[in-house]
Chains A and B, each alone.
Chain A
Amino acid sequence: MINKKVNSVTEALQGIEDGMTIMLGGFGLCGIPENSIAELVQKGTTNLTCISNNAGVDDFGLGLLLQKRQIKKMISSYVGENAEFERQMLSGELEVELTPQGTLAEKCRAAQAGIPAFFTPAGYGTEVAEGKETREFNGKMHVMELAYKADFSIVKAWKGDEAGNLIFKGTARNFNAVMAGGAKITIAEVEELVPAGTLDPNEIHIPGIMVQRIFQGEKFEKRIEQRTVRQK
């Protein structure tokens, strides 16, 4: 067993420097690596390029990094929940690359799977396709998209073991499972870190080879963005 366990979030995030590109898992606030984000705020790392489906809300998730102006560029598919984000984008302070969600996911997966590029029909005929190679397959037009290149990938899982194996819960799997292994170094923060041999190999979603550092997060707020209920 190759042990990936580190003892703290500080140790896990060593080597993340100003100007780097980081993938961060999560959909909305669901399954975001909140301990690592808090540590990045603490560290004060700046000029970051963040690949993340969303940009958090004003006072949680990546919104915390935006508030401190630590992000130079965001690569996302949907950013509608964050007023500070919209303000920085419309004023030109923040560089933004909006990408169709399926394309964003596949660009991560391509990086994870060692595929340099792929064709997708998404965005053909729109400004997303401007300047990109297009090609017809089976009578339909497609756009060529490239795999992401990132320095670090930070994902959040429900359970993990010392070997770096990960199990996700519910829809918190989202981008976490496609970003793991998509960068030079992948950091996983988990709710519960167990010794190797505890998790059933049949139940593993992401094998430990994709993860270089794993730690148990100190606390998870797991904030709900749109609490929607029905009456009994």
Chain B
Amino acid sequence: MALDKNQIAKRIAKEVQDGYYVNLGIGIPTLVANYVRTDISVEFQSENGVLGMGPFPFEGEEDADIINAGKQTITTLPGASFFDSAFSFGMIRAQKVDLTILGAMEVAENGDIANWKIPGKMVKGMGGAMDLVASAENIIVAMMHVNKAGESKILKKCTLPLTGVGCVKKVVTELAVLEVTPNGFKLLERAPGVSVDEIIQATEAELIIDGEVPEMVF
């Protein structure tokens, strides 16, 4: 069965390792924080200027001056720090942040990503995504495999205006885990109960399939 958003987040959380500073984008990526192992040390960075982000505050304890990049009220954990926007993107460009997890509208087999604009229809802006994808070493995309019309968002070539070129390393969707290799998408894992054929059907890009494709383990 295809994964729900929380299961996608849960699978991505397995990629988070001890000692990582992690930037989480808006949407599914935000949920990843809920599933990171509790026996490892991880700090979450939010590009509006905080390291050491904690869970949402208890009701009545919200502080308008303490939010994440999704404008949600948050708390901080022991060891947290605040800084300005230029400093925040300085640590991103200088690759101090180990892992970036963000959403996408389209990803292409060469690692291109599009997630900020649908010409003539929707222009919300790129926010910090262009800076993040241009600099981060390790980028994982959390996204739906197909759009509402059933069309694949895993493509040979992006059709929407790009956010970054050749930058995505891994994609986790409701159907599969894909790795971006120099030769294109490699199918690493499939969602429990989803067949390789179903994934091929839902994917416009060619998939590299190397032997038996295991089911995801959470």
CB distance from B82 to the nearest CB of A (A): 6
Known contacts A90-B123, A126-B163, A174-B48; A31 and B65 CB within 8 A of each other: yes
Known contacts A105-B88, A106-B89, A127-B161; A80 and B134 CB within 8 A of each other: no
> 0/1 per residue, A114-149, Cβ < 8 Å to B?
000000111111111000000000000000000000
Taking a contact as CB atoms closer than 8 A, the residue among B46, B65, B116, B120 that contacts A90 in the complex is: B120
CB distance from A159 to the nearest CB of B (A): 12
Q: Judge whether B125 and A80 touch: CB under 8 Å.
A: yes
Task: Please report the C-alpha to C-alpha distance between residue A27 and residue B49 in the assembled complex, in whole angstroms.
Answer: 10
The residue in chain A whose Cβ has the minimal distance to the Cβ of B112 is A125
Q: Which residues of A contact B107 (CB under 8 A)?
A: none
B214 within 8 A of A: no
Q: Which residues of B contact A96 (CB under 8 A)?
A: 123
Q: Judge whether B55 and A230 touch: CB under 8 Å.
A: yes
A8 within 8 A of B: no
Known contacts A98-B126, A102-B89, A172-B65; A224 and B73 CB within 8 A of each other: yes
Q: Judge whether A123 and B134 touch: CB under 8 Å.
A: yes
Q: Which residues of B contact A178 (CB under 8 A)?
A: 84-86
Q: Which residues of B contact A98 (CB under 8 A)?
A: 116, 123, 125-126
Q: Judge whether A231 and B59 touch: CB under 8 Å.
A: yes
Q: Judge whether A229 and B73 touch: CB under 8 Å.
A: yes
Taking a contact as CB atoms closer than 8 A, the residue among B82, B85, B124 that contacts A101 in the complex is: B85
Which bracket fits the contact residues of A?
A: 35 or more
> 0/1 per residue, A189-232, Cβ < 8 Å to B?
00000000000000001000000000000000011111111111
Chain B: residues with Cβ within 8 Å of the partner, total of 54
CB distance from A223 to the nearest CB of B (A): 7
Task: Please report the C-alpha to C-alpha distance between residue A161 and residue B47 in the assembled complex, in whole angstroms.
Answer: 28
CB distance from B100 to the nearest CB of A (A): 12
Taking a contact as CB atoms closer than 8 A, the residue among A79, A103, A127 that contacts B131 in the complex is: A103
* Residue of B64, B135, B162, B164 ringed by the most chain A CB atoms within 10 A: B64
Task: Please report the C-alpha to C-alpha distance between residue A80 and residue B134 in the assembled complex, in whole angstroms.
Answer: 22
The residue in chain B whose Cβ has the minimal distance to the Cβ of A86 is B123
Known contacts A122-B135, A171-B50, A230-B57; A30 and B85 CB within 8 A of each other: no
Q: Which residues of A contact B49 (CB under 8 A)?
A: 27, 171, 173-174
Task: Please report the C-alpha to C-alpha distance between residue A150 and residue B104 in the assembled complex, in whole angstroms.
Answer: 34
Q: Judge whether A124 and B165 touch: CB under 8 Å.
A: yes
> 0/1 per residue, B89-133, Cβ < 8 Å to A?
100110000000000000000000000100010111111111100
The residue in chain B whose Cβ has the minimal distance to the Cβ of A80 is B124
B210 within 8 A of A: no
A181 within 8 A of B: no
Question: Which B residues have a C-beta under 8 Å from some C-beta of A?
Answer: 46-50, 55-74, 82-86, 88-89, 92-93, 116, 120, 122-131, 134-135, 161-166
17 extra interface residue pairs, beta carbon distance < 8 Å, beyond A122-B135, A175-B84: A30-B65, A86-B122, A89-B123, A101-B127, A102-B47, A102-B88, A103-B130, A120-B93, A171-B65, A171-B67, A171-B82, A223-B64, A226-B70, A228-B56, A229-B62, A230-B55, A230-B57
Complex A-B, nearest 7 residue pairs according to Cβ-Cβ distance, in ascending order = A102-B89, A102-B131, A80-B124, A125-B165, A177-B84, A170-B65, A100-B130
